[in-house]
């Protein structure tokens, strides 16, 4: 069945549950009214999982793996940018079976807005002798497929494990678009992709550094790691319940458009300045070596919930090198912008922290002038502008030294944070919270815990790590 529900971005999942196995091939993916499709399939007779695409009337199997799936099991199709992954859940959680980007991107580009809008979620079965056919229309009531934000209280955004539905899926039975499914398919779920891990935490705050807290929940942005490398990730807004630090909820999915492409740019910050949200983000969505840069736009508070595709433009930073990880703050009438400056993105990236500032009274776009950069470092990123003991600091994370470095607003190194250094390059996001017994400080960061690396490659990593500091003096 080809549904009427279309994804807002090429970051999506379709999951089918199979309770019995017969000769029919099970399908999950996306399809267009003219018969083009991208599918994950399982053929019980041939005992194989495939990734199949059909473009301009020609069907190709672009990846295959021999495997026996014994019912009951789940089969899932995930598209992250142009990388398609087939996964199975045999009772121990979702595991990737086969994945390819190169063999998909050679024939179709789902990042193109005019291409993506042709496709809707699809699922069903077909006979083994009709391997090139479009998905069949199934025959029993299944769960409605939605692409809108789920506003329930349960935590769909799982940290460190695969979340297929993220904000988009629905498990509400019946109503709306219903269909009949073959006996072995008992339920279907689809929507925008969640994450395989989280990275690049940045608290949403006002220009003076005050964290944005609403109804006892701290708002922050995080990179949602995808099934693949950096261009397979995207960006999201999350809330953390300050009364229960285990309660993390994703409340928004953010995607970005430029040059006719819908991309998963990520690693940035949102500043709430009056009634405007300043959105600054890194151009990781197309992973253009030599042209990685910071982009920005201004939106309203609506970006803190729901699904949004935002148009951005380049933020002119005072560097001739690549740049990412923007961090903004307004101090003494001047906007400061911390960022990563990267002279090279060869086999081993070379990058270090830098700081720019505007003239007093100017807006954040500047013109920006370089305050300084620590080019003695080569693996240091994740700059955070934060106030510590009444002094503004730029904090950054250096994987060679395995330390969190602190700089003053002249980019003079003034010390380090006394906190455990984890795997990967954990960003030192500090936030001070007021509570009844006085202020206390949290450090929100991530590690390099991988997911599915043997199949999808490097990039699906990141567990959320929360550290609590000693009580602050009053």
Both 282 and 314 in one domain: the answer is yes
pLDDT at 138 (0 to 100): 34
Q: What CATH number did the domain enclosing 271 receive?
A: 2.115.10.20
- Confidence band for 185, pLDDT divided at 50, 70 and 90: confident
Domains in the chain: how many in total? 2
Mean pLDDT of the chain: 88
Residues 381-394: pLDDT tens digits?
A: 999 999 998 899 99
Top-confidence residue, 291 or 220: 220
Mean pLDDT, residues 153-172 taken together: 32
100 within a domain of the structure (yes/no):
yes
- Confidence band for 341, pLDDT divided at 50, 70 and 90: very high
- SS3 per-residue string spanning the chain: CECCCCCCCCEEEEEEEECCCCCCEEEEEEECCCCCEEEEEEECCCCEEEEEEEECCEEEEEEEEECCCCCCEEEEEEEECCEEEEEEECCCCEEEEEEECHHHHCCCCCCEHHHHCCCEEEEEEECCCCCCCCCCCCCCCCECCCCCCCCCCCCCCCCCCCECCCCCCCCCECCCCCCCCCCCEEEEEEEECCECEEEEEEECECCCCCECEECCEEEEEEEEECCCCHHHCEEEEEEEECCCCCCEEEEEEEEEEECCEEECCEEEEEEEECCEEEEEEECCCCCCCCCCCEEEEEECHHHHCEEEEEECEECCCCCCCEEEEEEEEEECCEEEEEEEEEEECCCCCEEEEEEEECCCCCCCCCCCEEEEECCCCCEEEEEEEEEECCEEEEEEEECCCCEEEEECCCCCEEEECCCCCCCCCCCCEEEEEEECCEEEEEEEEECCCCCCHHHHCCCCCCCEEEEECCCCCC
pLDDT > 90? residue 435 = no
Q: What CATH number did the domain enclosing 17 receive?
A: 2.60.120
Domain end point (choices 155, 173, 192): 192
Both 142 and 247 in one domain: the answer is no
Both 230 and 315 in one domain: the answer is yes
Q: Which of 41-50, 142-151, 174-183 is the least confident region?
A: 142-151
Residues 8-26: pLDDT tens digits?
A: 999 999 999 999 877 789 9
Domain end point (choices 165, 192, 219): 192
Residues 300-327: pLDDT tens digits?
A: 999 999 999 999 999 999 999 999 999 9
pTM higher than 0.85: yes
Q: Which domain holds residue 116?
A: 11-192
Both 172 and 256 in one domain: the answer is no
């Amino acid at each position: 069945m080809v549904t009427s529900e279309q994804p807002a971005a090429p970051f999506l999942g379709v999951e089918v549950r199979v309770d019995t196995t017969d000769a029919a091939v099970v399908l999950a993916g996306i399809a267009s009214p003219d018969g083009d499709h991208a599918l994950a399939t399982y053929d019980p007779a041939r005992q194989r999982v495939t990734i199949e695409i059909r473009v301009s009337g020609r069907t190709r199997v672009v990846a295959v793996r021999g495997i026996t799936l014994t019912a009951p099991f789940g089969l899932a199709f995930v598209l992250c940018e142009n990388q398609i992954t087939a996964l199975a859940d045999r009772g121990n959680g979702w595991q990737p079976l086969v994945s390819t980007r190169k063999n998909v991107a050679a024939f179709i580009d789902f990042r193109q807005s005019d291409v993506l809008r042709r496709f809707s979620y699809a699922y069903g079965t077909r006979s083994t002798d009709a391997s090139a056919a479009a998905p069949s229309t199934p025959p029993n009531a299944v769960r409605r497929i939605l692409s809108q934000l789920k506003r329930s209280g349960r935590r769909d955004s799982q940290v460190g494990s695969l979340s297929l539905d993220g904000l988009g899926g629905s498990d509400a039975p019946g109503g709306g678009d219903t269909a009949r499914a073959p006996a072995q398919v008992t339920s279907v779920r689809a929507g925008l992709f969640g994450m395989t891990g989280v990275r690049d935490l940045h608290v949403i705050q006002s220009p003076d550094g005050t964290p944005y807290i609403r109804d006892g929940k701290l708002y922050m942005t995080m990179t949602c790691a995808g099934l693949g490398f950096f261009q397979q990730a995207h960006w999201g807004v999350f809330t953390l319940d300050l009364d229960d630090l285990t309660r993390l909820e994703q409340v928004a999915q953010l995607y970005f458009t430029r040059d006719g492409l819908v991309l998963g740019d990520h690693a940035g910050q949102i500043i709430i300045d009056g009634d405007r949200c300043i959105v600054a983000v890194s151009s990781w969505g197309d992973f253009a070596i030599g042209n990685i840069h910071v982009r920005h736009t201004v939106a309203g508070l609506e970006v803190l919930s729901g699904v949004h595709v935002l148009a951005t433009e380049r933020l002119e930073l005072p560097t001739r090198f690549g740049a990412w990880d923007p961090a903004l703050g307004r101090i003494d009438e001047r906007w400061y912008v911390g960022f990563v400056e990267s002279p090279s993105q060869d086999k081993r990236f070379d990058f270090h922290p830098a700081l720019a500032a505007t003239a007093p009274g100017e807006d954040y776009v500047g013109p920006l002038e370089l305050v300084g950069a620590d080019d003695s470092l080569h693996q240091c990123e994740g700059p955070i502008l934060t106030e510590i003991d009444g002094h503004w600091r730029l904090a950054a994370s250096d994987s060679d030294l395995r330390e969190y470095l602190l700089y003053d607003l002249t980019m003079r190194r003034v010390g380090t944070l006394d906190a455990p250094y984890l795997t990967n390059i954990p960003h030192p996001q500090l936030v001070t919270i007021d509570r009844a017994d006085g202020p206390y400080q949290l450090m929100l960061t991530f590690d390099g815990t991988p997911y599915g690396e043997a199949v999808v490659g490097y990039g699906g990593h990141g567990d959320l790590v929360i550290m609590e500091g000693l009580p602050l003096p009053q």
